[in-house]
Structure formats: structure tokens, C-alpha cells
Amino acid sequence: MRRWYPVLVGLLLGLLQTGLFFQLTFTLSSSIGTFLLVTVCWLAGSALGVALLARWPLPTWVFLVVALLAYGIVGAALLAQPFNTALWPVYAGLIVLTGLYAGVFFARMSRLYRARDLFLRENNGFILGIVVATLLFLLVGRPALWWLPPLAAGVLLALREPKVSSL
């Protein structure tokens, strides 16, 4: 399972990022600003996760739950207030919270995997997540963006992350 864990995390991260992009694009704005909002805020959250939060004595699953909750709040806010551009700062903050998990994951897993293996596996999962989210969004619609991330997160929570002693 140690080999597949980063792939599954990448899958979840791809689902989250694609879900954020599609939901914001279709119910807030389809401008380049939306793409930049998701990308820049996600990277800011990841940087905070790597630089600061990975050292916190909280288990990684806590950051996963925070990411999932922030993602859910974005979806709920878009349902309640579609096309309300006054909420851009709120969405930005929530996307930063979603990106924290990625940074914490990479910082903590870098002690268990060689960098090239970690990035290769996570990136392959990320690409898979983008493809799956896109295809299911096209086939099922917005509900796919609501149930895919919690499903993937549930699998990760059930598996538990690898530990140094398991290597």
C-alpha cells in the first residue's frame, strides 16, 4: 500500500483542484481570474503547509479534514450565492485552507519517499484526478464534484498514511 498512497493522495488533490475550478468557473466567473484564484491560492496554501504547518503536532488527517470542509463550504456558498463576486476573498481563503493538506503531505512524506518517487506517484494520481473529475463532471454534472472528493478522502482516511517504521 505504501507504493500507492501518494497516487491516491494525488488523485484526491486532482479531484479537489478540478472541482474547485469547475464550480467557481460555472457559478462565479469564467475569467482568467478564476483560474488564477484557484492556482495561486492553492499554491499559497501548499507553501504554508510545507513551510509552517508540517511541523505542527497534528496528524496529517486533520489537514485532510480541513481541506475537505473548506471544499464543501466553497460548494455550499456557490449554491447559496451564485455569481456573487463580493465573495472572492472568502473563496480565496477557503482555497488556501484546501491547499494546506498538499503542503503538509509533501513535507511529511518527503521523509519516507525519495523526492522523485513521491512527485512521480503523486503527479500521476493528480493527473488521474483531473481526468476522472472532468469526465464525471461531463457525464454526471455538478453532483460528481460533490461526492468524488469525500469518497477519495474516505479511502485515504481508512488506509492511514505510511509511517517511517513501515519502510
Separation of alpha carbons 44 and 42, rounded Å: 5
Position 166 scores a pLDDT of 40
Q: How far apart are the first and last CA of the chain?
A: 11
pLDDT tens sequence across 32-75 = 999 999 999 999 999 999 999 999 999 999 999 999 999 999 99
pLDDT tens sequence across 77-92 = 999 999 999 999 999 9
Separation of alpha carbons 84 and 106, rounded Å: 34
| Distances, alpha carbon 5 to alpha carbons 78, 83, 89, 122, 158, in Å | 31, 37, 33, 8, 11
Position 164 scores a pLDDT of 55
Residue 1, number of CB atoms within 10 A of its CB: 10
In this prediction, residues 25-38 reach a mean pLDDT of 93
Q: What single DSSP character describes residue 28?
A: T
If DSSP states are collapsed to H, E and C, what string results for 83-121? CCHHHHHHHHHHHHHHHHHHHHHHHHHCCCCCHHHHHHH
Position 162 scores a pLDDT of 80
Closest CA to 94 of 29, 24, 10, 151: 24
pLDDT tens sequence across 118-166 = 999 999 999 999 999 999 999 999 999 999 999 999 999 999 888 754 4
The whole-chain average pLDDT of the chain stands at: 94
Domains of the chain by residue range = 5-158
Confidence band of 28 (pLDDT split at 50, 70, 90):
very high
